[in-house]
A and B are shown apart, each in its own frame.
Chain A
Amino acid sequence: MSGLGILFDVIISVLIVIGASFALIGSWGMVRLPTLMERLHGPTKATTLGLGGMLVGSMLYFMLGEGQWALHELLISLFLFITAPISANMIAKVHLHELRTQGDDAVAGPAGRPAAPSDKANWATYEAPHADSVAATSES
């Protein structure tokens, strides 16, 4: 194997190891952090650096190692980059919703309950978006 080949091997292996490690760390965080909002930070690692690392590793693996054209892994990353924040946002909304509807039974976590941003409007989970605001997309 050529020196370049070894270099590629090392790069690919490092990417895979980093990716796998971050996936594990993300899942570990999800287990050990105290409440939902903290745990929600875990998956971001799995999605971003974890899966990202492995996808790039895979890409290089196929392109450099096997000589195949393999860029489509990027698409998965692109897709996840678009969707992961939305998932997190929706889950956070679920948490906020629970905070309100379950009252004292709900575990607010160390960050407590979020205060209303201003006296004119509360968060959208608690108050329907104002009709004329940007928040009112697709409200019919």
Chain B
Amino acid sequence: MRRLIPHPGLSVLLVIIWLLMANEPTVGGLLVGIVIGILLPIFTAPFWPGRPDVNYRAGVAYLLLVLWDIVVANFEIAWIILFRRNRDLRPAWLSIPMELDTPEAITVLAGTISLTPGTVSSDVSACGNYLLVHALDAPDPEAEIARIKARYEARLKRVFK
């Protein structure tokens, strides 16, 4: 079983994606989706060496949180773009020290930061321990770093066991 479905999470994702794409809830579509969900991970396994274990429940919770943050942050930044004068902006580079130790986790963290408006993940340090983030308006960079670490990194540590 493990050999047949090396990455059940990915397989499920593919089945879902297939059904979404087919855009029609049919048994035939589901069957094809399952075939694809089994075959593609096997075929693409060499391209993703050392896939991490994921706590899916924590993952879903994290996802919902991020979605909510995206909506909220969007409005905040819209306000800034529309009404704040450029000279009142306080853009800053944030150098965030990370405790995450898998590239997948780092990527998800960086992605989250970028997706929530107002911050853009710009680089990772050569040693892999720091994340460079550009904030559009961060009068207090340290507080912002702390917020990100608490709100996202901590949760991600649970998602990627």
**A interface list, Cβ under 8 A from B:** 22, 25-26, 28-29, 32-34, 37-38, 40-42, 44-45, 48-49, 52, 69-72, 74-75, 78, 81-82, 84-86, 88-89, 92-93, 95-96, 109-115, 117-118, 120-130, 133-137
Residue in chain A with minimal CB distance to B106: A134
Contacts of A96 in B (CB 8 A): 122-123, 132
Complex contacts, A40 vs chain B, CB 8 Å:
120, 134
Contacts A74-B20, A84-B115 given; indicate if A121 touches B126 (C-beta within 8 A): yes
CB pair B95–A84 under 8 Å, yes or no, is no
- A89-B123 contact given A84-B115, A111-B91, CB 8 Å threshold: yes
28 A-B residue pairs with Cβ-Cβ distance under 8 Å, sorted by A, are A22-B74, A26-B81, A32-B81, A33-B89, A34-B86, A37-B120, A41-B117, A41-B120, A44-B77, A44-B120, A48-B117, A74-B20, A75-B17, A85-B114, A88-B120, A89-B110, A92-B122, A93-B122, A93-B123, A96-B123, A112-B93, A114-B93, A117-B125, A121-B126, A122-B125, A133-B128, A134-B103, A135-B103
Q: Are A118 and B125 in contact (CB under 8 A)?
A: yes
Measured between beta carbons, the chain B residues less than 8 angstroms from A41 are 77, 81, 117-118, 120, 136
CB neighbours (8 Å) of A110 from chain B are 89-91
Q: Report how far A52 CA is from B81 CA in the complex, Å.
A: 19
Which one of B1-9, B21-29, B150-158 is at the A interface?
A: B21-29
Q: In whole angstroms, how far apart are the Cα atoms of A131 and B125 in the complex?
A: 12
Distance A47 CA – B20 CA, assembled complex (angstroms): 20
Binding site for A on B (CB under 8 A): 17, 19-25, 70-71, 74, 77-78, 81-82, 86, 89-93, 95, 97, 101-103, 106, 110-115, 117-118, 120-130, 132, 134-136
A45–B120 alpha-carbon span in the complex (Å): 12
Nearest CB to that of A31 among chain B residues? B81
Question: In the complex, what distance in Å separates the CA atom of A127 from the CA atom of B19?
Answer: 43
Whether B117 pairs with A71 at a CB distance below 8 angstroms is no
Cβ A111 vs Cβ B115 within 8 A: no
Are B127 and A121 touching (Cβ within 8 A)? yes
Given contacts A69-B24, A89-B114, contact A118 B130 (CB under 8 A): yes
Please state if B114 and A88 are interface contacts (CB–CB under 8 Å): yes
Q: Given known contacts A33-B86, A69-B23, is B81 in contact with A121 (CB within 8 Å)?
A: no
Asked if B123 and A115 make an inter-chain contact with CB atoms under 8 angstroms apart, the answer reads no
- Closest CB of chain B to A27's CB: distance in Å? 10
